[in-house]
Amino acid sequence: MPDTESAFPESREKPAVASSEASRGEPVIELRGVEKHYQMGNFLVKALRGVDLKVFPGDYISILGPSGCGKSTMLNILGCLDQPSVGQYLLDGVDVSELPDDRLSSVRGKKLGFIFQSYNLIQQLTVLENIEVPLYYQGMSEKESREISVPLAEMVGLGKRLDHKPTELSGGQQQRVAIARALSNDPSVILADEATGNLDSKSGGDILEIFDQLNADGKTLIMITHDEGMADRTPRVLRLKDGEIAYDTNIHG
Amino acid sequence: MSVTNSIGGTVRELSLFRLRRSVILGIKSLWMHKLRSFLTALGIVFGVASVISMLAIGEGASYEAQQQIKELGSQNIILESVKPTNTTTAGEQERSLILEYGLTYKDISQIQSTVPGVQITVPSRNVKDFLWNKSNSVDGVAFGTVPWFPVMKNRDVIRGRFFTEMEMDDRSPVCVLTSSLSRNLFPLDEPIGKTVRMQTSYFRVVGIIEDDPAIAAAESELDGAGENSEGMEMMIPITTLEDHFGEVLFKYRSGSFEAEKVELHEVTARIEKPEQVMPAAQAIQHILERNHKDVDYKMTVPLDLLQRAERTKQIFNIVLGSIAAISLLVGGIGIMNIMLATVTERTREIGIRRALGAKKKDIVFQFLIETIILSGAGGLLGVGVGLAIPLLVSHFAEMVTIIQFWAPTLAFTISVAIGVLFGIYPAFRAADMNPVEALRHE
């Protein structure tokens, strides 16, 4: 991408890597010199200090790092829940770093799928209704939503529990509902935040198998974790340290 | 992944189906805390019920008063002779056997010739004594008046006719009985055409007139207990009365004779235009003050009473309305309080919804709908209770209550408006939450 190079001469990308990436098409996610600052009393805390990243369609990435390294901030920015203080974030080629709140909500609803550590299902809704929440906010009719949500529930193995409330499900089952929900809007990227953190190894393993399958089907997944074991599972690993990317398989590997 | 979807082609923001789903969602959320929702709505229930029932009771009370006043005729001025108290100068000096007091024909002619707007007057004079039908007697009154009495007093002639002007001019011995007198004097046979005797005079019955509504109401409250001479009236031409009973009335009371001379017992003056009533009343007051040393008369102005009743009603309604409004306000504050607690409690849900694409206005909408459901349900329940309370009051306290069609509508509208008003702040607090922090909330 010679034009981006010239527009951002301070970009730290190495030419050798750029050439290998060129074959993979346009990136889904592109961070350019992203910084995030927080004002804590009189101190300015820099949670991210200039992050450059390209994520390509079909990528399966784990972001690793100790607590306080900026993982959460990174996730919030990638998930459009927060916006960078400095730098640019392009999602599907659209600059979202300075979008107004309403537009940002639309972007989250259309292009992103979230999977959280504590499942974050809405307690008063059934399995099916939980899966349909992202569709509801895009104004899809109940009938159309049903056509999407039922196959998804079946895919994650909850076809017989469509009308159950989250409290009636095990942790693993709840997380599978969350996965179905994250897939309902057919997102460009799925973001998983410590998705297996609250699960026993058996249920956690099941969840990871679903992730593997999703990636095999062509989905782009980014997992944030402090579990070193994940590094062996995903083809691409990012290590964050003090708000910077210290290691990227694409660059260093 | 075989699942595909068609986002974009089906975006219909804030359409009807969306409203329906929001309402269902709102009900589900409220249903999760049934008791809490019910108690919160109870504030509105009481507020709305008190607005409706207070308006109904106030309206009923003033209606009753106004109805009684209207019976008297709003364009009438009523003058009555009143026996002066015993310590008056006339009584002391003369020690006369005959006590002379009350309204005179002179008063009437002066009023009719000098007060502007006086259209017509109805003088009346009565003699109390036993009325006889053969051997059947009733303690009653011979009531001398003029042919236009029924029209002026809004009294219907039930059967036969009233006496005519010609009969008054001829001083004919004809009479019209009030219906209660007719029932007592002629319990079995047809009174019209028969004769009624008082003292030594005979009168031919030509018609039956309805009872005085004011007396009828008083009678019904006493459950008709006891024979009362009040209302037992035999109406005859005033000229006939003068001919047969003279000007001096004798009464035999507790062993001693008492003689009274009263020219007229009652005079009703009709004023042509409503706006002339009050000035005419003042003019009449002046004439009477000049003609009478003692206050041996009483003046009643129904219009004045009506206006006072109207003002009382207004004050009454304002007081009742404010009490009801305060209870609605308290209900609204209760709702706001609970919604603020709910918003805090559901911070995480808000964060999830925001992450999954909900815009700020979606969150505002969701919580506002919930508040409106709460206050609207409270309002509906309140309308039910508010319609029931006046019925109970009517039944047990025997008060007239009037529910005007707009009162429940107004009360319900106010309850929904309160839902919106007190829901806005919590809803915006919910929407203004930072999604990142909301998601992290435990």
Asked if residue B372 and residue B428 are part of one domain, the reply reads yes
| Average of per-residue pLDDT across B308-334 | 85
Identify the pLDDT of residue B91.
45
Neighbours of B35 (CB within 10 A): 7
| Average of per-residue pLDDT across B281-297 | 85
Q: Is residue B3 domain-resident?
A: no
A229 vs B337 pLDDT, higher one: B337
Asked if residue B366 and residue B274 are part of one domain, the reply reads no
Identify the pLDDT of residue A160.
92
Confidence of residue B250 (pLDDT cuts 50, 70, 90): low
Identify the pLDDT of residue B220.
56
Tokens describing residue B276:
């002339």
The pLDDT mean for chain B works out to 83
Indicate yes or no: CB of A186 within 8 angstroms of CB of B353.
no
Asked if residue B138 and residue B113 are part of one domain, the reply reads yes
Tokens describing residue B91:
């009584």
Confidence of residue B108 (pLDDT cuts 50, 70, 90): confident
A11 vs B192 pLDDT, higher one: B192
A83 vs B63 pLDDT, higher one: A83
| Closest chain B C-alpha to A175 CA, distance in angstroms | 14
- Interface A:B, Cβ pairs < 8 A: 107
Tokens describing residue A185:
């809007």
Indicate yes or no: CB of B352 within 8 angstroms of CB of A125.
no
Indicate yes or no: CB of B354 within 8 angstroms of CB of A105.
yes
Name which of B68-72, B133-137, B336-340, B372-376 the model is least confident about.
Answer: B68-72
Asked if residue B108 and residue B233 are part of one domain, the reply reads yes
Per-residue pLDDT tens for A28-42?
Answer: 999 999 999 988 888
Cα B366 to Cα B22: distance, rounded to the nearest angstrom: 6
| Average of per-residue pLDDT across A162-171 | 94
Cα B13 to Cα A137: distance, rounded to the nearest angstrom: 9
One-letter amino acid for residue A202 of the chain: K
Of all helices (H) and strands (E), which one includes residue A242?
Answer: none
Confidence of residue B256 (pLDDT cuts 50, 70, 90): low
Which class is domain A57-83+99-252? alpha beta
Number of domains in chain B: 2
Q: Is residue B123 domain-resident?
A: yes
Indicate yes or no: CB of B355 within 8 angstroms of CB of A148.
no
Indicate yes or no: CB of A114 within 8 angstroms of CB of B355.
yes
Chain B residues with beta carbon closer than 8 angstroms to that of A140: 5, 7, 10-11
Per-residue pLDDT tens for B266-276?
Answer: 888 888 887 88
What is the layout of strands, in order, in the sheet containing A86-91? A43-55, A29-40, A86-91, A94-95
Contact of B20 with chain A, judged by CB distance below 8 Å, is answered with no
Asked if residue B268 and residue B145 are part of one domain, the reply reads yes
Q: Helix, strand or coil for residue B5?
A: coil
Give the range of the structural domain holding residue B269, as residue numbers without chain letter: 83-295
Q: What would you report as the CA-atom Rg of chain B, rounded to the nearest whole angstrom?
A: 36
φ/ψ bin of B142: left (φ > 0), alpha (ψ from -120 to 50), beta (otherwise): beta
Contact of B405 with chain A, judged by CB distance below 8 Å, is answered with no
Cα B379 to Cα B372: distance, rounded to the nearest angstrom: 10
Per-residue pLDDT tens for A14-32?
Answer: 444 444 454 567 899 999 9
Tokens describing residue B50:
């008190």
Per-residue pLDDT tens for A71-124?
Answer: 889 999 999 999 999 999 999 999 999 899 999 999 999 999 999 999 999 998
Contact of A122 with chain B, judged by CB distance below 8 Å, is answered with yes
Identify the pLDDT of residue B217.
61
Chain A residues with beta carbon closer than 8 angstroms to that of B359: 101-102, 105-106, 137
Chain B residues with beta carbon closer than 8 angstroms to that of A110: 7, 357
Neighbours of B402 (CB within 10 A): 17
Q: Is residue B4 domain-resident?
A: no
Cα A209 to Cα A176: distance, rounded to the nearest angstrom: 11
Nearest 10 degrees: Cα torsion B202, B208, B214, B218? 80
Confidence of residue B264 (pLDDT cuts 50, 70, 90): confident
pLDDT over threshold 90, residue A67:
no
Distances (CA, A) of A45 to A41, A68, B435: 10, 11, 20
Please return the burial class of A116, using the count of CB atoms within 10 Å of its CB with bins 0-12, 13-18 and 19+.
Answer: buried
Identify the pLDDT of residue A176.
95
pLDDT over threshold 60, residue B405:
yes
Confidence of residue A68 (pLDDT cuts 50, 70, 90): confident
Query: Taking the mean position of all CA atoms in its chain, how far away is CA A250?
Result: 18
Confidence of residue A231 (pLDDT cuts 50, 70, 90): confident
Question: From the candidates B2, B4, B5, which should be mutated to test the interface with A, based on the most A CB atoms within 10 A?
Answer: B5
Identify the pLDDT of residue A13.
43
Confidence of residue A133 (pLDDT cuts 50, 70, 90): very high
Q: Is residue B74 domain-resident?
A: no
Neighbours of B289 (CB within 10 A): 11
Per-residue pLDDT tens for B138-161?
Answer: 888 888 898 988 888 888 899 899
- In this predicted complex, what is the ipTM? 0.89
Asked if residue B201 and residue B146 are part of one domain, the reply reads yes
Q: Helix, strand or coil for residue A122?
A: coil
One-letter amino acid for residue B103 of the chain: L
Per-residue pLDDT tens for A37-60?
Answer: 988 888 888 999 999 999 999 999
Asked if residue B261 and residue B316 are part of one domain, the reply reads no
Cα A226 to Cα A239: distance, rounded to the nearest angstrom: 10
Chain B residues with beta carbon closer than 8 angstroms to that of A186: 3-5, 7
Asked if residue B87 and residue B29 are part of one domain, the reply reads no
Q: Is residue B104 domain-resident?
A: yes
Asked if residue B263 and residue B160 are part of one domain, the reply reads yes
Picking from B249, B271, B295, the residue at the C-terminal end of a domain is: B295
Identify the pLDDT of residue B320.
82
Picking from B295, B325, B359, the residue at the C-terminal end of a domain is: B295
Q: Is residue B1 domain-resident?
A: no
| Average of per-residue pLDDT across B298-316 | 84
One-letter amino acid for residue A130 of the chain: N
Confidence of residue A11 (pLDDT cuts 50, 70, 90): very low
